[in-house]
Amino acid sequence: MEGLAEAADGACEIAPRSGVAFTLDRGDRLTVIDPRGEQVADLVAYNRHDLDEVISSGRTLDYASRIYLTTGDPLYSNRSNVLLRIVEDTVGRHDFLLTPCSADTFRIIYGDTQPHRGCFGNLAAALEPYGIAPDRIPVAFNCFMNVPIDGTTGAITVAPPLSKAGDRIVFEAEADLVIGLTACSALQSNNGSFKPIHYRVDRATPPSRG
């Protein structure tokens, strides 16, 4: 798979500015690791049996009544079903407001004349084999992204991630899912540098042998 390698710790490594897609079964656990610190990973999730059901920032934040999610919090779908639940979090600051960076992001915000395809483009390419078109990519859960909000003016700031080398967030699947996951491509989100992301899937039911 493009952008994917095995890391020294036995996890899978997503190369800088790339993305992957894979499946989870209900009960599986997904650990997303920041191996070097200050690197964001965009995560999207779809119901594997009905791809029109996808994680929803609006519903999740509405039901949580806050914008910063951590251990114990569920990620709801557009149909108000729980798709993922955060079961461990060593950082405690992630974003579920901002859309995946894209070529348009880099053109409009950064003024790039030959923009990178960004997380949106990487997710689109990774999810295509699963029959998921670009227009079906939602606002991602941006692991480790630090987005302070001014409570008076509503101004949004993208600040350096609080994650340090080895920090992680662990999700448990509450449905059979298709997952898209990136190593974010935006300089501002990652404190000015591009680094890999590691992830590990722990299966609820190990495959039988023999």
96-100, 103-107, 146-150: range with lowest mean pLDDT: 103-107
pLDDT bucket at 7, cuts 50 / 70 / 90:
low
Is the pLDDT at 19 greater than 60? The verdict is yes
- The span from the CA of 33 to the CA of 155, in Å, is 29
- The span from the CA of 20 to the CA of 196, in Å, is 12
Report the DSSP beta bridge partners of residue 167.
34
Q: What is the pLDDT of residues 192-207, one digit of tens each?
A: 999 999 999 999 976 5
For position 144, what pLDDT does the model report? 98
- The span from the CA of 40 to the CA of 187, in Å, is 10
Structure tokens at 32: 């997303």
| Helix (H) and strand (E) counts in the chain | 3, 11
Is the pLDDT at 3 greater than 70? The verdict is no
For position 114, what pLDDT does the model report? 86
Is the pLDDT at 10 greater than 90? The verdict is no
For residues 62-87, average pLDDT: 98
